[in-house]
Amino acid sequence: MKKPYVIGIGGGTCSGKSTLANQLAEAMYDFHPVMIHMDAYYIRPLTYTVAPITGKTYCEMNHPDALNLAKLKEDFLAAVQNPEQKLVVIEGLFALYLPEILEHLDLKIFVDLKSDERLVRRIKRHMANGDTFEEVTDRYLDTVRYRHDELVEPTRWRADMVFNGTLAGKELDILTTYLRSQLS
Protein backbone atom coordinates (compact mmCIF):
# COMPACT_ATOMS: atom_id res chain seq x y z
CA MET A 1 0.00 0.00 0.00
CA LYS A 2 1.36 3.40 -0.96
CA LYS A 3 1.66 5.91 1.84
CA PRO A 4 2.10 9.67 1.82
CA TYR A 5 5.40 11.40 2.47
CA VAL A 6 5.15 12.76 6.02
CA ILE A 7 6.99 15.82 7.32
CA GLY A 8 7.18 17.01 10.91
CA ILE A 9 8.12 20.61 11.65
CA GLY A 10 9.04 21.41 15.24
CA GLY A 11 10.76 24.23 17.08
CA GLY A 12 10.24 26.76 19.81
CA THR A 13 7.42 29.19 20.33
CA CYS A 14 7.31 31.83 17.56
CA SER A 15 10.28 30.29 15.77
CA GLY A 16 8.60 30.18 12.35
CA LYS A 17 7.07 26.67 12.29
CA SER A 18 3.66 27.73 10.99
CA THR A 19 5.20 30.16 8.53
CA LEU A 20 7.41 27.43 7.07
CA ALA A 21 4.52 24.96 6.95
CA ASN A 22 2.26 27.45 5.19
CA GLN A 23 4.98 28.42 2.70
CA LEU A 24 5.61 24.75 2.04
CA ALA A 25 1.92 24.08 1.45
CA GLU A 26 1.79 26.93 -1.03
CA ALA A 27 4.96 25.81 -2.83
CA MET A 28 3.79 22.18 -3.00
CA TYR A 29 0.14 22.99 -3.80
CA ASP A 30 0.12 20.60 -6.75
CA PHE A 31 0.60 17.67 -4.32
CA HIS A 32 -2.45 18.77 -2.27
CA PRO A 33 -0.68 18.58 1.10
CA VAL A 34 -2.67 17.84 4.21
CA MET A 35 -1.65 20.32 6.90
CA ILE A 36 -2.02 19.50 10.58
CA HIS A 37 -1.39 22.43 12.92
CA MET A 38 -0.99 21.25 16.51
CA ASP A 39 -2.25 24.62 17.79
CA ALA A 40 -5.72 23.53 16.66
CA TYR A 41 -5.75 20.75 19.26
CA TYR A 42 -5.52 22.66 22.53
CA ILE A 43 -7.95 21.40 25.15
CA ARG A 44 -10.80 23.74 26.01
CA PRO A 45 -11.12 24.91 28.66
CA LEU A 46 -7.39 25.42 28.85
CA THR A 47 -5.28 23.67 31.44
CA TYR A 48 -3.17 25.61 33.92
CA THR A 49 0.28 25.33 35.44
CA VAL A 50 1.99 26.91 38.42
CA ALA A 51 5.36 28.53 37.75
CA PRO A 52 8.01 26.73 39.80
CA ILE A 53 9.78 29.88 41.03
CA THR A 54 7.13 32.61 41.32
CA GLY A 55 4.16 30.37 42.13
CA LYS A 56 1.99 32.29 39.64
CA THR A 57 -0.68 30.38 37.73
CA TYR A 58 -0.65 30.49 33.92
CA CYS A 59 -2.52 28.88 31.04
CA GLU A 60 -0.49 25.83 30.03
CA MET A 61 0.08 25.73 26.30
CA ASN A 62 3.66 24.48 26.28
CA HIS A 63 3.20 20.90 27.41
CA PRO A 64 1.74 17.92 25.49
CA ASP A 65 -0.90 17.49 28.20
CA ALA A 66 -2.46 20.75 27.00
CA LEU A 67 -3.38 19.07 23.72
CA ASN A 68 -6.24 16.76 22.89
CA LEU A 69 -3.77 14.03 22.03
CA ALA A 70 -6.44 11.44 21.21
CA LYS A 71 -7.99 13.66 18.51
CA LEU A 72 -4.58 14.78 17.24
CA LYS A 73 -3.41 11.17 16.85
CA GLU A 74 -6.70 10.15 15.24
CA ASP A 75 -6.51 12.93 12.64
CA PHE A 76 -2.79 12.40 12.05
CA LEU A 77 -3.13 8.64 11.56
CA ALA A 78 -6.09 9.12 9.24
CA ALA A 79 -3.95 11.38 7.07
CA VAL A 80 -0.82 9.21 7.05
CA GLN A 81 -2.77 6.01 6.39
CA ASN A 82 -4.66 7.48 3.43
CA PRO A 83 -3.08 6.02 0.28
CA GLU A 84 -4.58 8.80 -1.82
CA GLN A 85 -2.58 11.46 0.02
CA LYS A 86 0.83 12.34 -1.35
CA LEU A 87 2.10 14.76 1.31
CA VAL A 88 1.24 15.27 4.98
CA VAL A 89 2.79 18.04 7.10
CA ILE A 90 2.38 18.26 10.85
CA GLU A 91 3.75 21.30 12.66
CA GLY A 92 3.86 22.39 16.24
CA LEU A 93 5.90 22.50 19.41
CA PHE A 94 5.69 18.74 19.83
CA ALA A 95 5.86 17.50 16.24
CA LEU A 96 9.29 16.00 16.94
CA TYR A 97 8.51 15.05 20.54
CA LEU A 98 5.57 12.66 20.52
CA PRO A 99 6.66 9.08 19.72
CA GLU A 100 3.33 8.27 18.05
CA ILE A 101 3.99 11.01 15.49
CA LEU A 102 7.75 10.67 15.27
CA GLU A 103 7.59 7.06 14.11
CA HIS A 104 5.63 8.07 10.98
CA LEU A 105 7.84 10.96 9.88
CA ASP A 106 9.86 10.65 6.69
CA LEU A 107 11.47 14.05 7.23
CA LYS A 108 11.97 15.90 10.51
CA ILE A 109 12.64 19.64 10.47
CA PHE A 110 13.52 21.80 13.47
CA VAL A 111 13.03 25.54 13.02
CA ASP A 112 15.63 27.33 15.10
CA LEU A 113 15.57 30.94 16.20
CA LYS A 114 17.43 32.62 19.04
CA SER A 115 15.38 33.01 22.20
CA ASP A 116 15.46 36.82 22.16
CA GLU A 117 14.02 36.88 18.64
CA ARG A 118 11.33 34.37 19.60
CA LEU A 119 10.47 36.48 22.65
CA VAL A 120 10.14 39.64 20.55
CA ARG A 121 7.85 37.83 18.09
CA ARG A 122 5.83 36.45 21.00
CA ILE A 123 5.46 39.90 22.57
CA LYS A 124 4.22 41.35 19.27
CA ARG A 125 1.80 38.48 18.66
CA HIS A 126 0.30 38.37 22.13
CA MET A 127 0.09 42.14 22.57
CA ALA A 128 -1.77 42.30 19.24
CA ASN A 129 -4.24 39.86 20.84
CA GLY A 130 -4.76 42.10 23.87
CA ASP A 131 -2.18 40.87 26.39
CA THR A 132 -0.03 43.42 28.18
CA PHE A 133 3.75 43.50 27.89
CA GLU A 134 4.04 42.32 31.50
CA GLU A 135 1.62 39.42 30.96
CA VAL A 136 3.56 38.17 27.95
CA THR A 137 7.02 38.56 29.43
CA ASP A 138 6.11 37.21 32.89
CA ARG A 139 4.58 34.08 31.36
CA TYR A 140 7.54 33.59 29.05
CA LEU A 141 10.09 34.01 31.84
CA ASP A 142 8.10 31.96 34.39
CA THR A 143 7.02 28.96 32.28
CA VAL A 144 7.53 29.08 28.51
CA ARG A 145 11.32 29.14 28.48
CA TYR A 146 11.48 26.27 30.99
CA ARG A 147 9.15 24.14 28.89
CA HIS A 148 11.24 24.98 25.82
CA ASP A 149 14.42 23.80 27.52
CA GLU A 150 12.70 20.70 28.92
CA LEU A 151 10.57 19.53 25.99
CA VAL A 152 11.28 21.38 22.75
CA GLU A 153 15.00 22.10 22.48
CA PRO A 154 16.03 18.44 22.94
CA THR A 155 13.99 17.51 19.84
CA ARG A 156 16.48 19.42 17.68
CA TRP A 157 18.68 16.33 17.81
CA ARG A 158 15.95 14.24 16.22
CA ALA A 159 15.76 16.54 13.20
CA ASP A 160 17.09 15.68 9.76
CA MET A 161 17.28 19.39 8.93
CA VAL A 162 17.56 22.52 11.05
CA PHE A 163 16.26 25.70 9.42
CA ASN A 164 16.93 29.29 10.39
CA GLY A 165 13.66 30.70 11.70
CA THR A 166 14.12 33.98 9.87
CA LEU A 167 13.39 31.98 6.71
CA ALA A 168 15.35 34.59 4.82
CA GLY A 169 17.59 32.10 3.03
CA LYS A 170 17.10 29.33 0.55
CA GLU A 171 15.48 26.88 2.98
CA LEU A 172 12.18 26.66 1.14
CA ASP A 173 13.84 26.24 -2.26
CA ILE A 174 16.08 23.47 -0.94
CA LEU A 175 13.17 21.76 0.78
CA THR A 176 10.80 21.88 -2.19
CA THR A 177 13.52 20.65 -4.58
CA TYR A 178 14.22 17.74 -2.26
CA LEU A 179 10.51 16.93 -1.78
CA ARG A 180 9.78 17.00 -5.49
CA SER A 181 12.60 14.50 -6.03
CA GLN A 182 11.14 12.24 -3.34
CA LEU A 183 7.56 12.51 -4.59
CA SER A 184 8.28 12.01 -8.29
The structure's pTM equals 0.94
Reduced to 3 states, what is the DSSP secondary structure of residue 109? strand
- Which residue, 15, 28, 43, 116, is CA-closest to 7? 28
Q: How far is CA 23 from CA 110, 155, 175, in A?
A: 15, 22, 11
Q: Taking CA 157 as the corner, what is the angle to CA 177 and CA 116, rounded to the nearest 5 degrees?
A: 90
Supply the Cα-derived Rg of the chain in whole angstroms. Answer: 17
pLDDT digits (tens, 9 = 90+) for 8-19: 999 999 999 999
The domains located in the chain, with CATH, are 5-166 (3.40.50.300)
Distance CA 31, CA 29 (A): 5
pLDDT, the chain, mean: 94
Whether the bond between 33 and the residue before it is cis, its omega within 30 degrees of 0, is no
AA letter at 62 = N
DSSP character for 7? E
Q: Taking CA 158 as the corner, what is the angle to CA 157 and CA 160, rounded to the nearest 5 degrees?
A: 100
pLDDT value for 169 = 75
Q: Are strands 34-37 and 87-91 parallel, antiparallel or unpaired?
A: parallel
CB 126 within 8 A of CB 25: no
pLDDT value for 21 = 96
pLDDT value for 168 = 76
pLDDT value for 1 = 60
pLDDT digits (tens, 9 = 90+) for 89-146: 999 999 999 999 999 999 999 999 999 999 999 999 999 999 999 999 999 999 999 9
Distance CA 145, CA 127 (A): 18
- 23: number of CA atoms within 13 Å, CB side? 17
